[in-house]
Amino acid sequence: MVARRYFSNRVLVGALTVLSATLSSCSRGSDSSPASNQAAYTPPAPPPQPPPPPRELTWSGKVDMKLWSAVRVKAYKAVQQQQPPPPLAILRIPKLELEVPVYAGTTDGVLDLGAGHIEGTALPGTTGNVGIAAHRDSYFRVLGKLKEGDALVLDTPVATEQYQVEWIRITTPDDVSVIDPTTQPAVTLVGCYPFYHVGSAPKRFIVRAVPTSGTPPRPSPSAPRG
């Protein structure tokens, strides 16, 4: 009898101990965790954000041909019979009321249509020296009115970039240093010179523009020249 009472007491004490432990853990609440678990917890990293979609480039389509040569006017009207390719950028020079789409390459067909991106230079919207060429007797005939400090805008698939003319230079056709890569964003306009020369122009008219303060940095490095 004594042994049975002793065993019953042991069972009761054990049951009370288990119940006490259970109540103690419940009192922490379902939102609590042990201190050791709290210290070891690391919140998950946020998922990577997708890149923004490219901006659609549009322009007015208005072309002022008052200063153009008759040959360029005829060539422009001829290429208008075809569907133009999508532009890489839109070049705007407010002082000159110039707006011209920039297409890939500098073939005759491209330059009859608009301005051309010089192959091997940085693509519009990327870091580096963006080379843009156009005919001296069409779109770029008005460049002679530019001065240092004048504004230039390049609308790219990434952003609308604001520039100002840093320098203007007249050089020879074999001076390719003007389109050398740069570590900072730049735009270099290239046209033949003199603007009203009859025949093959012997020189080149160069305009270098650099970002104004407030222009966002471009996202990727410049393309090497080929």
- Are 222 and 126 in contact, with CB atoms under 8 Å apart? yes
In angstroms, the CA 188 to CA 206 distance is 7
Tell whether the model's pLDDT for residue 223 goes beyond 90: no
101-140 pLDDT, tens digit per residue, is 999 999 999 999 999 999 999 999 999 999 999 999 999 9
Q: Where are the alpha helices (DSSP H) in 27-104?
A: 35-40, 70-79
Q: Which of 98, 107, 169, 180 is nearest to 139 (CA)?
A: 98
Phi and psi at 24, nearest 5°, equal -65, -40
170-201 pLDDT, tens digit per residue, is 999 999 999 999 999 999 999 999 999 988 99
The mean per-residue pLDDT over the stretch 140-161 comes to: 96
8-53 pLDDT, tens digit per residue, is 445 444 444 433 443 343 444 444 444 455 556 666 777 776 666 6
pLDDT of residue 81: 86
pLDDT of residue 20: 42
Output the CA–CA distances (angstroms, integers) from residue 2 to 6, 7, 9, 13, 105, in the order listed: 6, 9, 11, 17, 106
pLDDT of residue 46: 72
Q: Considering only CA atoms, give the Rg of the chain.
A: 35
Residue with tokens 């919207």: 125
In angstroms, the CA 146 to CA 165 distance is 8
66-99 pLDDT, tens digit per residue, is 999 999 999 999 998 888 899 999 999 999 999 9
pLDDT of residue 30: 44
Which domains are present in the chain? 70-211 (2.40.260.10)
